[in-house]
Amino acid sequence: MLYSYFSPHAKSWSAQVYPGTPTFSLQPLFFMSASLTEIFEYENFFYETYHNENNIIRQDSPELNLVNFLCAGDVDGAMSLFQEYQQFGNVKSTVDVPQGRFEGLDEIQDFCSNWLNYAKADSSYAVPVKQTRSGGRSCTELMLHFRYDKYGKEVKFPACVVGDLRGHGQLDEVRMYFFFKWLPDLSPYRHRIFRPSHNAQVEHNYVCNVIREYSDALANLHFKGGIERILNTMTDDIVYGGYRPESISGIIKGKEKIEKKYRTFVNVPQIVRFESIIDNGLTSVCEWVGVRRDDYIGNRIPLLQSGVGIYDRDPESGKIKAVRIIDNFRFENEIDWSKADILY
């Protein structure tokens, strides 16, 4: 039998195929839950929409190496990317993912060892779609594929992996984002990832002009001229979405359809703080903490969650030609408040 995965050591895109026993261990398939059955029905057209051969992807980028090691079941390879502590600041190396936060080598190893168990899958592989690198960080957007041999099914969904780089091809911290419904038993609550040492209001000047205008207009969406300001930041052929299943929130193309979507937004989450920005001149990857106020547990409270926005810009006009947001806002009614470590 042949098994394939994208080698972390390959310099090209070609899949590496090996005969015989796979390098990963096949985990026993768990009892199929209703949520997993639902996942099999989801569709997504992320790769077809955003894959661009002109986008240079470094196959040896550490955050992509990590995902490839995970998919190959190579725990030792994954662990070779980390030290116990980050290069500076006496802070433990960290992997923060929808499944939880893992600090230090022991916890990171536990995460790596359970990669397939989290998905209740038999095997997995990743296909890179787009990569943005700048300022000591790298972000790879990719398609994760999980196989379920007993059922002859494969679940594939988009994810975004951000790596804080250190020397010798290693990582200080990794943050992975994907919509919580893509895997079974995940909570829609994503705790604030970053731990700032002081409070501060959002500072839009951290980002380039068009992203600053878009963010400010979004925060004032329902004030006079808010929608028009947002549309003015976009090209006519704007593309929106891609990280959620088509049946929940499909990819939208064109200003007219985008306008209809934004006019339906109610109680829009506001960005409290930009936490990191990766901008290579054409794409901005902005990690943020957002707040949404609603009647969650009998009181109208502000709920903080982490998310990321990715914005592609047209090189000629400078306007936004694609928007991709990963967060779990508007699914707060599915949070198990008795189990979640909620930060208000």
- Contact between 188 and 331 under an 8 Å Cβ cutoff? The reply is yes
Bridge partners (DSSP) of residue 166 are 170
Query: What is the pLDDT confidence band of residue 27, given thresholds at 50, 70 and 90?
Result: very low
pTM for this predicted structure = 0.85
Average pLDDT of the residues of the chain: 83
Average pLDDT over residues 172-178: 98
pLDDT of residue 70: 98
Both tokens assigned to 154: 């494969």
Q: What is the DSSP letter of 268?
A: P
Distance between CA 67 and CA 8 in Å, rounded?
A: 9
pLDDT tens, position by position, 260-281: 988 887 666 666 678 899 999 9
Amino acid occupying residue 16: Q
**CA atoms within a 13 Å half-sphere pointing along the CA-CB vector of 54:** 2
- pLDDT grade, residue 194 (50/70/90)? confident
The pLDDT of residue 54: 85
Among residues 272, 338, 337, 282, the alpha carbon closest in space to that of 307 is found at 272
**Given this structure, which CATH class describes domain 2-182?**
alpha beta
How close are the terminal C-alpha atoms of the chain, in Å?
51
Written as six digits, the tokens of 209 are 């002009």
Could you name the CATH architecture of 204-334? Roll (3.10)
Quote the CA–CA distance of 298 and 288 in Å, as a whole number: 27
Provide the pairing of β-strand 170-177 with 270-279: unpaired
CB burial of residue 133 (10 Å; 0-12, 13-18, 19+): buried
pLDDT tens by residue, 75-109: 999 999 999 999 999 999 999 999 999 999 999 99
User: DSSP letter string over 210-234?
Assistant: HHHHHHHHHHTTTSTTHHHHHHHTE
Cβ count near 5 (within 10 Å):
23
Residues 206/191, Cβ–Cβ less than 8 Å: no
Per-residue confidence (pLDDT) for residue 4, from 0 to 100: 33
With beta carbons less than 8 A apart as the criterion, state whether 158 and 244 touch. Answer: no
pLDDT at 201: 53
- Residue 288 vs residues 107, 215, 227: alpha-carbon distances, Å: 24, 11, 22
Check whether 18 has a pLDDT greater than 60: no
> Do residues 33 and 153 touch, judged by C-beta distance below 8 A?
no
Q: List the chain domain ranges.
A: 2-182, 204-334
What does the pLDDT read at residue 45? 92
